[in-house]
Amino acid sequence: MLAFVLALSMLLTACGSGGAGGSESPGKEAANPGADQPEGQQEQALSGTITVWVHPYVSEEKKNDMKAVFDGIISEYNSKYPDVKVKLEEIPWKNREQKILTALAAGNGPDVFYQLPDQIPQFANKDVLEPLSPYMEDNQMDDFTPGALAAGTYQDTLYALPILQESQLMFYNADIIKEIGEDASALPQTWDEFSVWAEKAVAKGYYARDFNGGAACCNATLYPILWQQGGDVINGNGEIVINNEAGVRTFQMIKDMYDKGWIPKDSISNQDQSAEFLSGKMLAVWGSGLTQTVLKEEKFNYAAGPPLKGAEQASFGTVGMFAVPKNSKNKQAAVEFIKVMTNTEAQKKFNKLANYIPTRKSAASIYEGDKDMEIFLEVTAYTRPGVMSPVARTIMPKIQAELAAMLEGGKSPQEAADAAAKAIQDDMNKS
């Protein structure tokens, strides 16, 4: 049980404008180094050193295996660009964002570094990132899943290439399914179907599902339900829509789940309800590939089903990407490195080891025959990376506070949604 709780905690912890023009942006010649050289010599036109910052993507037990993956990537890169020295450095997750910004501001930062979706708008707004679109003509961009590319795009400009993605599903307790007289081979596809199961489970003394309303809000809690109801937080035009009809309906749904006993009473503040699921007190839990791994290790009797459909079908899933800073002294070499880093073979090796989903369709074959992982792959077609805005992180605790006030009975769903919208607007005005 401890392993499951720790794994889910890691998942929930993880789930937190530049233009293409300007003198720093690459033109056609920069995108094709050595264009005036004879064919066959162009790949050797790059030289110098690039520094690449990565993170501990796997457990300590797999650290040497991941080093071998990165060594292979560097070897492939150097077979094309032998005159470029690659310095790969692993930095810890803690305080990494501040460390990156501080290093870049001082002019001694990396040439390649890792980004998450909600960081792209922040860094792009600070004019930190090099636009990548002009470099991508030879990179088979249609092989990337649309959702993964969207995660690295802000205001129609690509700033990062994705290497990994996740999606999230509903995991069900198969023993409870049997007890309520339902069939684990015919899991709910819609919220209406799930409601029938939920009422049966609650009548038997179980919780219907989890809702971690504490600091874990909102990527893996509120947002997927909101999207499934046809709503959003901030739309594509930058307008706040969390308090429109779909938004208020979502707040009402969460309030109803709480009042009916579908979710635990500590959903107001709890950051992780995985213990309730693993101990057999809950019908379903929302989880990722990490959840699946731990359930298998625990030999838990479960069934994995798709995200529930309301007005539409949607899931949350983070995307891991690599970007190049605008002040890199070796931009072209850095860009060429992240192309190799995110190619098909590199993604196969990296994601198979780290248990993530490749962002290239051509690498998806690593999970052939794994029925659960095949579901995850299907779900990536409608998985979203969260709120793509410079205020994406700062608004989460404010939305969480309004959800808590609603569940405690201090505000109606409409009042809570309106207050959340006002808090978002205040943050946007400051950004």
Residues 426 and 350 in one domain: no
State residue 39's pLDDT score: 36
**Interval 121-168: pLDDT, tens:** 999 999 999 999 999 999 999 999 988 999 999 999 999 999 999 999
Structural contact between residues 331 and 324, judged by C-beta atoms closer than 8 angstroms: yes
Domain total in the chain:
2
Residues 225 and 76 in one domain: no
Range of the domain at 242: 169-316+394-430
Angle (CA) 192-408-247 rounded to 5° is 45
Flag whether 209 is in a domain: yes
- Which of 355, 381, 411 lies at the terminal end of a domain, its last residue? 355
Tokens of 328: 């890199």
Flag whether 15 is in a domain: no
- The DSSP code sequence of 381-407 is GGEE-S--STTTTTTHHHHHHHHHHHH
Residues 188 and 229 in one domain: yes
Residues 72 and 175 in one domain: no
Flag whether 213 is in a domain: yes
For residue 294, name the pLDDT band (cuts at 50, 70, 90). confident
Residues 300 and 344 in one domain: no
Entry pTM: 0.83
Residues 175 and 285 in one domain: yes
Flag whether 411 is in a domain: yes
Residues 173 and 302 in one domain: yes
- By CB atoms closer than 10 A (0-12, 13-18, 19+), residue 180 is middle
CATH of the domain at 61: 3.40.190.10
Task: Report the range of poorest mean pLDDT among 32-36, 163-167, 213-217, 221-225.
Answer: 32-36
Flag whether 28 is in a domain: no
**Interval 354-365: pLDDT, tens:** 989 999 999 999
Collapsing DSSP to helix, strand or coil, 133 comes out as: helix
State residue 216's pLDDT score: 62
**Interval 4-22: pLDDT, tens:** 444 444 444 444 433 322 3
Flag whether 177 is in a domain: yes
Distance CA 99, CA 204 (A): 51
Residues 243 and 173 in one domain: yes
Residues 80 and 105 in one domain: yes
- Which of 327, 355, 383 lies at the terminal end of a domain, its last residue? 355
Flag whether 389 is in a domain: no
Flag whether 405 is in a domain: yes
Residues 175 and 287 in one domain: yes
State residue 28's pLDDT score: 33
Residues 205 and 246 in one domain: yes
Residues 423 and 289 in one domain: yes
For residue 65, name the pLDDT band (cuts at 50, 70, 90). very high
Structural contact between residues 298 and 232, judged by C-beta atoms closer than 8 angstroms: no
